[in-house]
Amino acid sequence: MVMKVIEILSDSPKSWEDATAKGIKKAAKSLKNIKSAWVKDQSVVVKGGKVVSYRINLKVTFQVGSGK
Protein backbone atom coordinates (compact mmCIF):
# COMPACT_ATOMS: atom_id res chain seq x y z
CA MET A 1 0.00 0.00 0.00
CA VAL A 2 1.28 3.47 -0.89
CA MET A 3 0.08 6.57 0.94
CA LYS A 4 0.46 10.21 -0.01
CA VAL A 5 0.20 13.30 2.19
CA ILE A 6 -0.91 16.72 0.97
CA GLU A 7 -1.30 19.95 2.85
CA ILE A 8 -4.44 22.07 2.57
CA LEU A 9 -5.73 25.23 4.21
CA SER A 10 -9.35 25.74 5.22
CA ASP A 11 -11.32 28.34 7.12
CA SER A 12 -14.71 28.85 8.71
CA PRO A 13 -16.51 31.68 10.48
CA LYS A 14 -17.87 29.12 13.02
CA SER A 15 -15.03 27.03 14.50
CA TRP A 16 -11.82 25.08 13.92
CA GLU A 17 -13.91 21.90 13.84
CA ASP A 18 -16.08 23.32 11.07
CA ALA A 19 -12.98 24.45 9.15
CA THR A 20 -11.62 20.89 9.42
CA ALA A 21 -14.88 19.33 8.23
CA LYS A 22 -15.10 21.78 5.31
CA GLY A 23 -11.50 21.05 4.30
CA ILE A 24 -12.02 17.28 4.30
CA LYS A 25 -15.32 17.56 2.44
CA LYS A 26 -13.73 19.70 -0.28
CA ALA A 27 -10.64 17.45 -0.54
CA ALA A 28 -12.85 14.36 -0.85
CA LYS A 29 -14.34 15.79 -4.06
CA SER A 30 -11.03 15.25 -5.86
CA LEU A 31 -9.19 12.70 -3.67
CA LYS A 32 -10.17 9.06 -3.25
CA ASN A 33 -9.37 6.87 -0.24
CA ILE A 34 -8.70 9.57 2.36
CA LYS A 35 -7.50 7.69 5.44
CA SER A 36 -6.66 10.41 7.99
CA ALA A 37 -5.94 14.08 8.57
CA TRP A 38 -3.72 15.90 11.03
CA VAL A 39 -4.36 19.50 12.07
CA LYS A 40 -0.87 20.98 11.83
CA ASP A 41 -1.73 24.58 12.77
CA GLN A 42 -4.65 26.65 13.93
CA SER A 43 -5.06 30.41 13.73
CA VAL A 44 -7.76 33.05 13.75
CA VAL A 45 -8.45 36.25 11.86
CA VAL A 46 -9.34 39.17 14.12
CA LYS A 47 -11.16 42.32 13.05
CA GLY A 48 -12.35 45.05 15.39
CA GLY A 49 -11.25 43.02 18.40
CA LYS A 50 -13.41 40.03 17.42
CA VAL A 51 -12.61 36.66 15.87
CA VAL A 52 -14.10 36.60 12.38
CA SER A 53 -12.56 33.43 10.94
CA TYR A 54 -10.98 30.20 12.18
CA ARG A 55 -8.19 28.81 10.00
CA ILE A 56 -6.54 25.41 9.98
CA ASN A 57 -3.63 23.88 8.12
CA LEU A 58 -4.43 20.20 7.46
CA LYS A 59 -2.18 17.36 6.37
CA VAL A 60 -4.42 14.86 4.57
CA THR A 61 -3.29 11.26 4.03
CA PHE A 62 -4.81 9.16 1.26
CA GLN A 63 -4.08 5.83 -0.41
CA VAL A 64 -2.55 5.91 -3.88
CA GLY A 65 -3.32 3.07 -6.28
CA SER A 66 -4.86 -0.28 -5.51
CA GLY A 67 -2.16 -1.50 -3.13
CA LYS A 68 -1.50 -4.65 -5.20
Q: Check residue 1 and give its pLDDT.
A: 85
Q: Check residue 68 and give its pLDDT.
A: 59
Q: Check residue 21 and give its pLDDT.
A: 97
pLDDT at 5 over 80: yes
Q: Check residue 67 and give its pLDDT.
A: 57
Q: Are 5 and 61 in contact (CB under 8 A)?
A: yes
- The model's pLDDT over 9-66, given as tens digits with 9 standing for 90+, comes to 999 999 999 999 999 999 999 999 999 999 999 999 999 999 999 999 999 999 998 7
Tell me the Cα Rg of the chain: 14
Q: Are 31 and 63 in contact (CB under 8 A)?
A: no
DSSP string for the chain:
-EEEEEEEEEEESS-HHHHHHHHHHHHTTT-S-EEEEEEEEEEEEEETTEEEEEEEEEEEEEEES---
Domains along the chain with CATH numbers: 2-64 (3.30.1660.10)
